[in-house]
Amino acid sequence: MDGATMGRPREGLNSEAKIMSLGSEGEGKDSKFESLFLRNYSRVVGVLYRLVGDRAQAEELATDVFWKLYRQPWLPRSDGNVGGWLHRTATNLGIDYLRALGSRREHEDEAGRQAIRSAAQRDPLDEILRAEQARRVRAVLARLRTAHARILVLRASGLSYNELAEALGCKRGTIGTMLVRAEAAFQKQVQRMYGKEAL
């Protein structure tokens, strides 16, 4: 995340629709896309980083998200929910990435590499335990229904109920119920995979 984007106040996701409608039709898709990219890139990377746990991979997946956005035929129109689309696409790509990692051994190898990278920090044991817990959370998310994993990741990324409703394309009043169901499914999967005292 660069310094310019970190200092900006958080704006609503609907502001992207305003960007898309700026200017005349003569203004190209590229300038509208560039505005959307600059406003949303760091947030999309943040969502993906929380999901996949690797900054470089999160940036690569974010590039894929924006490539998909660029190829959308509705980009120049002002009626698209671009913010919601970006969050849905990012979580879907992140979850697909986790599923593609495959075997548990690959997850354990990554936890080991993470532990080695964090060995220089003050408390190596805490870092190892934190990395193991993060690995387990990612493994559980990969086994959940996409809708459950998506809402949990977006909420953990700091989205409010209003932003969740917009990103998921549903009414705000349903968000609480959706979160409770997703959390229950998460706990059930944790117990199934790791036992009752896992996380």
Separation CA 8–CA 23 (nearest Å): 23
Q: Tell me what pLDDT residue 33 has.
A: 83
Contact 81, 124 (CB under 8 A): no
Q: Tell me what pLDDT residue 122 has.
A: 60
H or E segment to which residue 42 belongs: helix 29-52
Q: Tell me what pLDDT residue 11 has.
A: 42
Q: Tell me what pLDDT residue 28 has.
A: 67
Q: What is the pLDDT along the chain (199 residues), one digit of tens a residue?
A: 443 433 333 344 444 444 444 333 435 677 888 888 899 999 999 999 999 998 999 999 999 999 998 887 765 454 567 888 899 999 999 988 888 876 555 656 777 777 676 655 567 778 788 888 899 999 999 999 999 999 999 998 888 888 899 889 999 999 999 999 999 999 999 999 888 766 5
Q: Tell me what pLDDT residue 2 has.
A: 41
Q: Tell me what pLDDT residue 198 has.
A: 61
Dihedral pair phi/psi, residue 25, rounded to 5°:
-60, -25
Separation CA 95–CA 165 (nearest Å): 20
Separation CA 164–CA 182 (nearest Å): 13
Q: Tell me what pLDDT residue 117 has.
A: 67
The residue ranges of every structural domain in the chain are 12-102+131-194
- Mean of pLDDT over the chain: 78
**pTM of the full structure:** 0.53
